[in-house]
Amino acid sequence: MHDVAAAAGVSTMTVSNVINGRSARVGETTRERVLAAIAELGYRVNPTARSLRRGRTGVIGFAVPGLGTEYFGALAARLGRRLRARGYRLAVESTGGELTGELDSLAASHLDSYDALVLALAAGEVDDLELLQPDKPLVLVGERAVSDRFHHVRMDNVGGARLAVEHLLDGGARSIVALGGFEGPHESAQELRVRGYREALEARGIDVDPDLIVDCGLAAEEGWEALGALLDRGVVPDGVFALTDSAAYGALRALIDRGIAVPEQVSVIGFDNLPSSRFAVPSLSTIEPGNEEIADAVCSMLLAQLEQAPDGGARLCVPRPDIVVRESTRAVER
């Protein structure tokens, strides 16, 4: 910067203002002179040196279970936009959805690459995280129960599932598949959404048929295979609550492949309100879990820690879900 300043006949502070986009502090003629000197001298900012001087990398890590999931891609895009406006870049990495990968992402040597980390939990439990003392700001995303020492953002999976199933019931469905569901002792998103499914049916006096809780993966192909197998056994429901929008896309394909009309014969609803859900044929009714609020909360928690703002300690954010009604479900019966 000293060389550029000498060539342009300005101070190093003026060069710094130009390089860092603080154009309000520099006249246009001076700015052009500095840029011309930069071009002539071939000056380039050294990010490593800048990071060492500032004690910051300017990068926020986002560790997700997998890189091929549309939900995490959409969340990464939301976070990236918000963080970029505050001068940070987002780097996305995969934990493989395994405990070892999640714990590795929290190792001190790994965190050196970032100023802070957002970790989407898929395997870690309370006991796994209890002894951790990460030396960088951390926000957890996901449904796993965690210590109240950590900032945590999660969905209201039970409430959202109840909304979905109530909507199917209001449209006249009575034999409703929970596609991608299973039940167990852990509070995963799938287990919590099945809990909401059960609560909605039981509140209407409808017995839960365990054969309609279809254990499968949450991707489109897995939803397609699982519902197709159920239909081929002669079980034809009048409603499908797919635990993700991706699984719902597979359900739509399985029904259409067999000449079953949606929503006239079978209503289908998903969960997540993915950007692609409105482009399905028919367009997919779904649960909006508060995607924008989730991104806002994650960024607010990160920035409060990075800027060491007094925020009252660790916070938990659980946005209120809402329903988005489109073409794949029948009109509510009156």
pLDDT for the residue numbered 184: 64
CATH number of 2-45: 1.10.260.40
Distance CA 217, CA 192 (A): 15
pLDDT for the residue numbered 134: 76
| Stated length of the chain | 334
Which residues does residue 59 pair with via DSSP β-bridges, in sequence order? Answer: 89
Distance CA 162, CA 241 (A): 10
Domain boundaries, the chain: 2-45, 57-153, 157-289
CATH number of 57-153: 3.40.50.2300
pLDDT for the residue numbered 147: 73
> 157-289 belongs to which homologous superfamily?
Response regulator (3.40.50.2300)
The two structure tokens encoding residue 59: 């990068």
pLDDT for the residue numbered 311: 59
Sign of the Cα torsion 70, 74, 80, 83 reads negative
**In the 8-state DSSP scheme, what is residue 143?**
S
pLDDT for the residue numbered 17: 82
Dihedral pair phi/psi, residue 36, rounded to 5°: -65, -40
pLDDT for the residue numbered 126: 65
**Each residue's pLDDT expressed in tens, for the chain with a length of 334 residues:** 889 899 999 998 888 888 766 766 788 888 889 888 888 888 876 655 554 455 578 999 999 999 888 999 999 999 999 999 999 999 999 999 888 888 888 887 788 889 999 999 887 766 677 667 777 899 999 887 777 888 999 999 999 999 999 999 999 999 999 999 887 656 788 999 999 999 999 999 999 999 999 999 999 999 999 999 999 999 999 999 999 999 999 999 999 999 999 999 999 999 999 999 999 999 999 999 999 999 999 999 999 999 876 655 678 999 999 999 999 999 776 5
CB 178 within 8 A of CB 162: no
Q: Which helix (H) or strand (E) holds 152?
A: strand 151-153
CB 36 within 8 A of CB 9: no
| Helix, coil or strand: residue 268 | strand
Domains 2-45 and 157-289 share a fold: no
Measured in whole angstroms, the distance separating CA 259 from the mean position of its chain's CA atoms is 34
pLDDT for the residue numbered 320: 97
